[in-house]
Amino acid sequence: MCGIFAVINDKKNNASQTIIEGLKKLEYRGYDSWGIAVKTKNKLVVEKHIGKIGNAQTFLPLSNIGIGHTRWATHGGVFDKNAHPHLDCNNQFAVIHNGIVENYLEIKEKLIKKNHKFLSETDTEIIAHMIEEELKNKDYSIDDLAKKVFKSFKKLAGSNAVGILDAKTETIIACRNGSPLVFGFDEKNNQYFLSSDIPALLKHTKNVYFLNDNEAVVLNKNFFQVYDLIKEIPKKINFEKINLKSSSAEKEGYPHFLIKEIDEQKKTILKTAEKNIFLIEKSLKYFKKAKKIIFIGCGTAYHCALLAKYLFAKNGFESDAYQANEFSAFSNLINKKTLIIAISQSGETADTILAVKSAKNKDAKIISIINNRGSTLERISDFFVPIYTGPEIAVVSTKAFTSQLIITYLLAKSLNFKQKEGLKNIKKLSKELNKWLNQSLKNKIIDLAKKLLKENHFYIIGKDLNYPASLEFALKIKETAYTHAEAFASGELKHGVIALIEKNTPCFVLASNDEHKNDIISSATEIKARNGKIFGIAPFESKIFDFFIQTPDIKELTIIPNIIIGQLLGYYLGIGKGADPDKPRNLAKSVTVK
């Protein structure tokens, strides 16, 4: 949630334009307003707006230094005055902030008693006034400024990332504790950048440093310095080289990132599997020592965790799966013999990080499966498996989910000494996806979406692996089409769920060519007997289906094309309803607050 972008020594002396382009690359993080501050002559100039950046332009004065922010409201309504950046009383400091200052009311009351005037309802604004109070009536240097910023930041309770632009010294200082920040350095042009995530930096530099918790960076036109915030001493750092093309964060001719990323699964699934064979082998030692295996995640990542539980059971291994936001109820069962497999696209999901930290406090071992490099989750894990999908820009997860699922599948197969068989099945899946996921299939889904546009309720049933698959199918419909979609284990129908079925109620049946085939058809027949309309998603046809979409038959991995139908249907339904499939309402890509 929220996005930070900043630049110093902008090579075109047009920092505001560079910042607005950077913020557009961070739109997927979720936001409801945005703003920019630049230093020009002897003052800061700020522009703030509610709503989407879209094709917006900024007409701020030319400058080579500035900061920008996309805000997802937590404290205070969605108004221009609550958008970041926020200024102090003297317009000396501009502040942008991701996170929540949990003790802001207490600090604000003290500042009001010292005659500070507040213009917004946000927790962020206090930070500008805190720094102003620390430096009041002082002729300060950059070192003085840094010390006072560090002092102020350490008073903030909660998970936060803060960027401060000082007009006097033309310096930007950023501090991190819990919310992501990436420092980018373009050595050729001597440009410095700050961002919440990699995609906004790819156009400018591939040399980055991921700030750790309790680290800060001081940026000036003449130098940069990273600090240990606890000891307040400088640190030597090594930049990482990011091997991603800037085109990976572009639509490349597609109308939306979501449909591009659905298509990319034809490549990302196999790429993830082949690149991680060695790491999967290396991770097995953690499983062999564990007495208890637990998968955790939120939303789509939880559905991946639940599918992993089924896959492990099929290979003879007991495990459990919990929603990370409900993990605290079971944390008393964790000990040093527990292995936690944490699944997260961003690696910054607040609930997942809290669950992992709780498990670590009880000496559990942590393996994380993440897309974003340099994330908090990666850094606090004992072992990390990257999924090599490239940036996933659409808020709705597709290619990251299927790649994470493939990792859990290969883990289960490897533990059962069947890694070669697993890799063979993945290669077959990739080959089938390349033939099956084509325009003809999309046209069929478009026709189906047109027929279903006016429907307000969908039900999805599945059995065995297709039950958690149906949960993910339903979530894609909810996220992109804003339509109620509810998934059930097919065996639950007769235990109450079937009361929901009315004439022509759309019911999707997810099935595989497995030992449960007859059971799922039997459940579909029960729905049909109540005049429900049956949409079959399976490798086989049945007379019970009113509408049928054939999926490739790849044993357990049939669930992946079954789910892809849900991804496509959600996308085209959303388009038909006028929704933005890349940025669904009220949602953020990276949920960095509790």
DSSP string for 316-361:
T---EEEEGGGGGGGGGG--TTEEEEEEESSS--HHHHHHHHHHHT
Using CA atoms, how far apart are residues 459 and 485, in angstroms rounded to an integer? Answer: 6
As a 3-state breakdown, the chain gives helix, strand, coil percent values, each rounded to 5, of: 40, 25, 35
Would you state the structure tokens that stand for residue 176, as one six-digit string? 């991190």
Q: Annotated catalytic residue: which of 148, 413, 463, 589?
A: 589
**DSSP code of 441?**
H
Each residue of 390-434: pLDDT tens digit? 888 898 999 999 999 999 999 999 999 999 999 999 999 999 999
Each residue of 111-158: pLDDT tens digit? 999 999 999 999 999 999 999 999 987 789 999 999 999 999 999 998
Q: What is the pLDDT of residue 199?
A: 87
Would you state the structure tokens that stand for residue 265, as one six-digit string? 């699964």
Would you state the structure tokens that stand for residue 33, as one six-digit string? 């307003």
pLDDT band of 225, cuts 50, 70, 90: very high
Using CA atoms, how far apart are residues 141 and 397, in angstroms rounded to an integer? Answer: 46
127 near 105, Cβ under 8 Å? no
Using CA atoms, how far apart are residues 379 and 392, in angstroms rounded to an integer? Answer: 20
Q: What is the pLDDT of residue 390?
A: 86
Using CA atoms, how far apart are residues 513 and 531, in angstroms rounded to an integer? Answer: 25
503 has a pLDDT exceeding 80: yes
346 near 299, Cβ under 8 Å? no
pLDDT band of 58, cuts 50, 70, 90: confident
> Cis ω on the peptide bond leading into residue 199 (within 30° of 0)?
no
Q: What is the pLDDT of residue 179?
A: 82
Would you state the structure tokens that stand for residue 547, as one six-digit string? 């509408």
Residue 515 half-sphere exposure, CB side, CA atoms within 13 Å?
2
Using CA atoms, how far apart are residues 338 and 359, in angstroms rounded to an integer? Answer: 8
Out of 6-10, 422-426, 488-492, pick the least confident. Answer: 488-492
Residue 72 half-sphere exposure, CB side, CA atoms within 13 Å?
23
1 has a pLDDT exceeding 80: no
Out of 49-53, 431-435, 443-447, pick the least confident. Answer: 49-53
CB atoms within 10 A of CB 561: 26
Dmax (CA) of the chain: 83
Out of 261-265, 349-353, 364-368, pick the least confident. Answer: 349-353
What domains are defined for the chain? 3-248 (3.60.20.10), 258-437 (3.40.50.10490), 440-594 (3.40.50.10490)
Tell me, yes or no, if 589 is annotated catalytic: yes
Average pLDDT in the 189-194 region?
A: 96
Distance of CA 39 to the CA centre of its chain: 32
Residue type, position 219, single letter: L
Using CA atoms, how far apart are residues 182 and 204, in angstroms rounded to an integer? Answer: 13
Using CA atoms, how far apart are residues 536 and 389, in angstroms rounded to an integer? Answer: 30
394 near 364, Cβ under 8 Å? no
pTM for this prediction:
0.83
B/e letters for 255-281, b = 16+ CB within 10 Å, e = fewer, are ebbbbbbbbbbbbbbbbbbeebeeebe
pLDDT band of 319, cuts 50, 70, 90: very high
350 near 342, Cβ under 8 Å? no
Q: For residue 195, give the H/E element and its range.
A: strand 191-195
396 near 584, Cβ under 8 Å? yes
Q: How far apart are the first and last CA of the chain?
A: 11
Phi/psi of residue 558, each to 5°?
Answer: -60, -25
